[in-house]
Amino acid sequence: MCINKILRSKPRFSYWFACHLGGYCPTSKEIENDDVKNLAKRLEGVTEKETIDNILEWQEANILFWDERHPIPTVLFYSLGIALPVFLIAGFYLSLFLLLTSGVFPFSTILLIWISALVSSIITTLVIIAVAIRSNRKIPLIEGLTNAFKLSISLKMLLRRDRKLGICRDYAKLTACILRSIYKNSEIYFLHSSAHVATGIRIGQEVYMLDQRLPVLTINQWYKREHGSTPPSKLLFVYRKAHKLNGNRLESIPVDSLLSKTNISKIKSPHDLSFELSKLLNIPDNDSFDSGFDVLQTIELPKWAKGANLYEMNDSVVNYSLTRFLKRRIMNQILELSQITKIEIDKEAEDLVFRAKIVLEQINKLG
């Protein structure tokens, strides 16, 4: 029976698969982890929208994306279907070659050459990965190599005191752990795109996606960012289904059933979004200042990647998250909100560009 049929018909197998091979779903033991519970208590906000932003802001500030690890388990896992037939065919032709040349070259010599080439390739690969881990990540070599090849990383690696490292499936697992620890009866979902997975939670009538960094997105926004305008029915099976965490089971649910069909008011332009966010941040959305007293400067803030395709979907939870996104970027510039006189937002290809006009100093005319 193929994996897809098993996942559809056996939620417990789906749960086991996601926990131990997919690596993005937490086990019951991981959800009850004391370090996770302590972190969840610190991140819990007054409201749900505050909590989910706290989670993303903490992850963005504390966990580094582990670039060297990202392709390794994925390539190893998904290449099995290709590698196994290749090795079988190669073995057949090698056997044929050995049979035909047995009178010319000793069998032991040919076998030694073959094994030497294989071992050399493995050692070279390990050395390259080890150097990258040791020089770039500053973590113990054995710990780094062990976790680099794991499909499901340990929470210890994600919550270590220094150099917290992870990839998308690790973020998804930790996010689900924290959400389940805070909201015992919440609806938690996992959604997939190409070589990527993220965690969602239902708040009211909407599912919101937590994907490594601010801002939070509605499931419609996340789907549009990852899959464009392609309808779910046209995607691969794994992308057409969401998995809902239910105890020690993962229930397969059509993504289309989670996408919001409600007609909401849309933000017509980046300027309108600027007005909305400025209002939430208590920043005046105008250029009114006394040129004799104020010295202004415009600074570039980090972009919202692919935000130009998403901002029109007006949502109060997402707009609040965007204010958190902006506040964090402003603080990273060693600035106070009181110094900001205007926020400007423009499109740049698929991204949204944020600019802030700031007051540098007050000039005393009488002095």
Residue 4 reports pLDDT greater than 70: no
The predicted model gives 22-38 an average pLDDT of: 93
Evaluate the CA torsion angle 247, 248, 253, 255 in order and state its sign. Answer: positive
* 129 vs 242, higher pLDDT: 242
Residue 21 reports pLDDT greater than 90: no
287 pLDDT band, cuts 50/70/90, is low
**Residues in contact with 273: Cβ distance below 8 Å, sequence separation at least 6, in sequence order:** 267, 311, 322, 345, 352
CA–CA distance, 252 with 249 (Å, rounded to integer):
10
Greatest mean pLDDT among 84-98, 148-162, 195-209 lies in 195-209
Average pLDDT, the chain: 82
The whole-number pLDDT of residue 366 equals 36
Listed residue (201, 197, 204, 233) closest to 217, CA to CA: 201
pTM of the entire predicted model: 0.81
What are 308-349's pLDDT values in tens digits?
Answer: 989 988 899 999 999 999 999 999 998 888 889 899 999 999
- Do 18 and 250 contact (CB within 8 A), yes or no? yes
The predicted model gives 237-266 an average pLDDT of: 88
7 pLDDT band, cuts 50/70/90, is very low
Share of the chain above pLDDT 90, in %: 47
What are 125-153's pLDDT values in tens digits?
Answer: 667 767 766 666 677 777 777 777 788 88
The whole-number pLDDT of residue 344 equals 93
Listed residue (331, 311, 332) closest to 322, CA to CA: 311
The whole-number pLDDT of residue 275 equals 92
- Do 244 and 187 contact (CB within 8 A), yes or no? yes
CA–CA distance, 87 with 100 (Å, rounded to integer):
20
The whole-number pLDDT of residue 289 equals 53
CA–CA distance, 145 with 150 (Å, rounded to integer):
9
The predicted model gives 20-44 an average pLDDT of: 94
Q: H-helix or E-strand containing 351?
A: strand 351-362
Residue 214 reports pLDDT greater than 90: yes
